Amino acid sequence: MRKQIAAANWKMNLSQSEADSLLNELFQTAFHLAAHQEAIFAVPSIYIHQTKAKLAGKQNMYVAAQNCHQKNNGAFTGEIAAPMFASVGVKHIVLGHSERREYFTESDALLAEKVNAVLAIDSTPIFCCGEPLDIREAGNQNIFVEAQLKNSLFHLSAEQIVKVVIAYEPIWAIGTGKTATSEQAQEIHAYIRSVFASKYGQSIADQISILYGGSVKAANAKELFSQPDVDGGLVGGASLIASEFTAIINALQ
């Protein structure tokens, strides 16, 4: 059975005390995650230690990094390497978020290097893909997303690709309040799975978790997650509200 995942992306938000309060409020709730379900918290790197401490002893809950450098070490002031994250127990790293692509001009080729770096430390890349509004309005979203996947991931072996989590994020729906309908989400998630099936075979494609990331909230999570090819969500703003993210975790099928 594929993993179903509710992943929080805190982005560059919260003070230390605010982060502590949010985690305390979240964990006042008793979560009942099944064996194939996970909750992941991609927090600012400075909060990884305190988040990991809060998650100690909790089943199927993990802390994640929001990015990493493609090199393992060197003169890259301000950057953090994948092996550094591994050394403090981080096993999931978000790569290629649309904000990284847009604001920091991260290319598909660079992201392929980052994927390699994360897999080399036996960690899970949460690889983001998705189209901007003009591509969606032109009806070219499938071609656009397929190119992102092929350019950054198709060098991987079948054994490697099943370790990657995909997060499809329609850029036009991030932080805008707009959300793809459940039918739109299912349509492109199914297409993404077919892209992997064409390269690796259906049995491999069926093992890859594909998350939806675009204004996921408590009100729409259950319907989105009920779609056969939507395996959870990468959640931005709603993950900063304890009651919202609690409901999203509990909406996993």
Mean pLDDT, to the nearest integer, of 195-217? 96
Confidence (pLDDT) at 1: 85
Confidence (pLDDT) at 23: 96
* Cα–Cα distance measured from residue 7 to residue 16, given in angstroms and rounded to the nearest whole number: 20
Confidence (pLDDT) at 174: 73
pLDDT reading at 166 higher than 80 = yes
Query: Is the CB of residue 123 less than 8 Å from the CB of residue 81?
Result: no
* Cα–Cα distance measured from residue 42 to residue 181, given in angstroms and rounded to the nearest whole number: 25
Confidence (pLDDT) at 248: 97
Confidence (pLDDT) at 215: 85
Query: Is the CB of residue 86 less than 8 Å from the CB of residue 123?
Result: yes
Considering only residues 180 and 66, tell me which one the structure prediction assigns the higher pLDDT: 66
* Element holding 87 (H helix, E strand): helix 82-87
CA dihedral (49, 55, 61, 67) in degrees, to 10, reads: -10
Query: Is the CB of residue 196 less than 8 Å from the CB of residue 157?
Result: no
* Cα–Cα distance measured from residue 247 to residue 170, given in angstroms and rounded to the nearest whole number: 22
Question: For residue 44, which of 21, 15, 11 has the smallest C-alpha distance?
Answer: 11
Question: What pLDDT digit, counting tens, does each position of 92-127 carry?
Answer: 999 999 999 999 999 999 999 999 999 999 999 999
- CATH number for the domain spanning 49: value is 3.20.20.70
Active-site residue flag, 69: no
Considering only residues 46 and 28, tell me which one the structure prediction assigns the higher pLDDT: 46
Annotated catalytic residue: which of 38, 106, 131, 169? Answer: 169
* Cα–Cα distance measured from residue 85 to residue 114, given in angstroms and rounded to the nearest whole number: 13
* Cα–Cα distance measured from residue 61 to residue 18, given in angstroms and rounded to the nearest whole number: 20
Mean pLDDT, to the nearest integer, of 195-203? 98
Confidence (pLDDT) at 180: 78
Considering only residues 111 and 28, tell me which one the structure prediction assigns the higher pLDDT: 111
- The structure's pTM equals 0.96
pLDDT band of 67, cuts 50, 70, 90: very high
pLDDT reading at 179 higher than 80 = no
The values of phi and psi at residue 200, to 5°, are: -115, -10
SS (H, E, C) 8-21: EECCCCCCHHHHHH
Query: Is the CB of residue 27 less than 8 Å from the CB of residue 58?
Result: yes
Count of positions (residues) in the chain? 253
Active-site residue flag, 97: yes
Domain housing 87: 4-250
Annotated catalytic residue: which of 97, 106, 131, 244? Answer: 97
Confidence (pLDDT) at 238: 96
Q: What percent of the chain has pLDDT over 90?
A: 90
Q: Domain total for the chain?
A: 1
